[in-house]
């Protein structure tokens, strides 16, 4: 293998330079390409196929809970953006402004949507009249634009793809229920489908979404010990409803404001997959999300028996997402290419395997290699894909546990933050000043107040006053 791998240019080792390792994997696994549009990425076929896989599964899970897809305009008139005070303050500094349509200057400038709360409010104001019209549980798949200064593929780009769910409910309880339901759906999806363990919790006042009453989040730990926010769900209460005047006539014949939520996941998840599962040979994809689950690589592919064997394997494995690499590259090149692209299983078949009615299975994650008779091939592949999915999750969970530290004092917190990458759990008094102080030094932000609280001390790690919450702190993407 060592020699063969030279055929595919190696990636920078993640221990040497994690950021460069990430960029190398993105480029060499052919996920994205830089474009002439500064800060924007082109998503290449293999990267987009991963997104389609994510999108398909999320959409199925959404629809099971009654979500309906819709499509709203891609632009927001300035006056509409300004209707909710906190919201416009949060987003106005980072939007792109359209000032001309065709040859004419617009009477009112419009921004390209950075998120669509205001558009859905505008819509619900027309569409919701009576309690019979509620709840509205809508979602859209689209791209949004935020004018970031520094960008990195998938993690931070001026445009990204996402889904944004926006709901309207009759009561505060129903809105809260939906907010939590979607956060849990996101967490289950991340853990079950992407094999990424997450911490579920609530954002602090400082970190919550512009205009929300409460923001819930799932946070994952990357290989380098930095946190990545993987999905958020917001409860708006009736704040937007009051700003936009969204009222319904209830059964008791009274006009009432609706209660709203929104929730989103983005192409950032692809960055999470790379940084949670990848290694120095490239990408590692969990079988459930992998566009190609099994790659068949023939050895001496011009041999007629090998040709026949290839075809037979493709047939036998037709219940999986299987592909045969019959290009004119060398087997060694193909092996390295499979590894770079993170294809979970590789099947090798050569003349001797054909003679013996067998094939060789190689796991991407462990490089484990076993020989299997053709009769057992299908069952063995099914079993191994399931094992890989589980193992990836367990390995990531184990790592997350190892990289999660408890701090009982400011000094201990500083010591951990400076020397041990990962999550730091510590008690907090709930005040903004202590949060700001930790941001300044040792440079960590609150990731979330986990739903699963533990009282690891009585007092705030910063000010020593009585603690109200245990918080996950960390450096984040």
Minimum gap (Å) between residue 143 Cβ and a copy of itself: 6
Please enumerate in sequence order all residues whose Cβ is within 8 A of that of 409, keeping only pairs 6 or more positions apart, or say none.
461
Residues 157-176 contacting a copy of itself, CB under 8 A: 158-159, 161
| 326 touches a copy of itself (CB under 8 A) | no
DSSP 214-241: EEEEEEEE-TTS-EEEEEEEEEEETHHH
Q: How far apart are CA 359 and CA 352, in angstroms?
A: 9
Q: Considering only residues 93, 251, 255, 440, which one is a binding residue for a copy of itself as defined by CB under 8 A?
A: 93
| 265 touches a copy of itself (CB under 8 A) | no
Of 217, 222, 340, nearest to 285 (Cα)?
340
In DSSP terms, which residues pair with 128 in a beta bridge?
Answer: none
| 65 touches a copy of itself (CB under 8 A) | no
**Per-residue contact string for residues 101-130; x = within reach of a copy of itself by CB under 8 A:** xxx------x-x------x--xx--xx---
Minimum gap (Å) between residue 98 Cβ and a copy of itself: 5
| 288 touches a copy of itself (CB under 8 A) | no
Residues 384-423 contacting a copy of itself, CB under 8 A: none
Of 433, 476, 429, nearest to 230 (Cα)?
476
Minimum gap (Å) between residue 315 Cβ and a copy of itself: 18
Q: List, in sequence order, the alpha helices (H) in 403-464.
A: 410-419, 432-440
Minimum gap (Å) between residue 329 Cβ and a copy of itself: 10
Q: How many residues bind a copy of itself (CB under 8 A)?
A: 52
Q: How many residues does the chain have?
A: 477
CA distances from 24 to 4, 152, 322 (A): 19, 12, 26
| 41 touches a copy of itself (CB under 8 A) | yes
| 69 touches a copy of itself (CB under 8 A) | yes
The answer to whether 239 touches 84, Cβ cutoff 8 Å, is yes
Residues 275, 277, 283, 288: is their CA dihedral positive or negative?
A: negative
171 burial via Cβ count (<10 Å: 0-12, 13-18, 19+)? middle
Minimum gap (Å) between residue 229 Cβ and a copy of itself: 21
| 40 touches a copy of itself (CB under 8 A) | yes
| 379 touches a copy of itself (CB under 8 A) | no
Of 36, 439, 389, 432, nearest to 195 (Cα)?
389
Minimum gap (Å) between residue 265 Cβ and a copy of itself: 16
Q: Considering only residues 9, 17, 33, 436, which one is a binding residue for a copy of itself as defined by CB under 8 A?
A: 33
333 token code pair: 């090149």
115 token code pair: 């998120």
Q: How far apart are CA 43 and CA 121, in angstroms?
A: 31
Of 71, 67, 72, nearest to 263 (Cα)?
67
445 token code pair: 């932000």
Stretch that binds a copy of itself, among 45-53, 269-277, 392-400, 435-443 (CB under 8 A): 45-53
| 150 touches a copy of itself (CB under 8 A) | no
**Per-residue contact string for residues 226-245; x = within reach of a copy of itself by CB under 8 A:** --------------------
| 271 touches a copy of itself (CB under 8 A) | no
Query: Which positions touch a copy of itself (CB under 8 A)?
Result: 33-37, 40-45, 48-49, 51-52, 68-77, 80, 93-103, 110, 112, 119, 122-123, 126-127, 138, 142-143, 145, 147, 158-159, 161
């Amino acid at each position: 293998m060592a020699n063969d791998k030279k055929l595919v240019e190696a990636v920078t080792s993640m221990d040497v330079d994690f950021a460069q390792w990430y960029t190398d994997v993105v480029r060499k696994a052919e996920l994205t390409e830089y474009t002439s549009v500064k800060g924007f990425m082109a998503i290449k076929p293999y990267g987009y196929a991963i997104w389609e896989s994510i999108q398909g599964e999320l959409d199925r899970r959404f629809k099971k809970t009654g979500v309906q897809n819709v499509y709203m305009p891609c632009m927001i008139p300035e006056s509409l953006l300004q209707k909710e005070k906190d919201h416009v303050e949060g987003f106005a500094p980072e939007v792109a402004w359209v000032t001309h349509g065709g040859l004419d200057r617009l009477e009112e400038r419009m921004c390209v949507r950075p998120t669509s709360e205001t558009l859905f409010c505008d819509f619900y104001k027309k569409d919701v009249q009576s309690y019979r019209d509620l709840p509205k549980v809508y979602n859209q798949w689209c791209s949004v634009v935020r004018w970031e200064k520094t960008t990195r593929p998938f993690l931070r780009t001026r445009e990204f793809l996402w889904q944004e769910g926006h709901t309207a409910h009759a009561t505060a309880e129903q809105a809260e229920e939906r907010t939590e339901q979607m956060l849990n759906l996101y967490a289950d999806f991340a853990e079950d489908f992407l094999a990424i363990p997450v911490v579920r919790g609530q954002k602090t006042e400082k970190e919550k979404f512009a205009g929300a009453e409460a923001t819930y989040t799932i946070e994952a730990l990357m290989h380098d010990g930095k946190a990545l926010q993987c999905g958020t769900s917001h409860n708006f209460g009736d704040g937007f409803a009051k700003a936009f005047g969204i009222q319904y006539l209830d059964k008791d014949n009274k006009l009432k404001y609706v209660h709203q939520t929104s929730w989103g996941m983005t192409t950032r998840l692809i960055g999470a997959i790379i940084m949670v599962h990848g290694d120095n040979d490239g990408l590692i994809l969990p079988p459930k999300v992998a566009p190609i689950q099994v790659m068949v690589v023939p050895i001496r592919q011009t041999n007629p028996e090998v040709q026949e064997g290839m075809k037979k394997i493709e047939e036998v494995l037709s219940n999986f997402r299987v592909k045969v690499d019959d290009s004119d590259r060398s087997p060694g090149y193909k092996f390295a290419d499979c590894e770079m692209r993170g294809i979970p299983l590789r099947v090798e078949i050569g003349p001797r395997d054909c003679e013996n009615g067998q094939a060789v299975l190689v796991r991407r994650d462990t490089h484990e290699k076993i020989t299997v008779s053709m009769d057992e091939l299908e069952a063995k592949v099914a079993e191994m894909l399931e094992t890989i999915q589980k193992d990836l999750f367990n390995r990531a969970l184990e790592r997350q546990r190892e990289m999660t530290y408890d701090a009982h004092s400011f000094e201990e917190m500083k010591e951990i933050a400076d020397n041990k990458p990962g999550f730091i759990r510590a008690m907090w008094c709930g005040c903004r000043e202590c949060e700001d102080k930790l941001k300044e030094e040792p440079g960590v932000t609150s990731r979330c107040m986990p739903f699963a609280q533990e009282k690891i001390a009585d007092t705030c790690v910063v000010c020593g006053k009585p603690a109200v919450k245990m918080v996950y702190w960390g450096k984040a993407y």
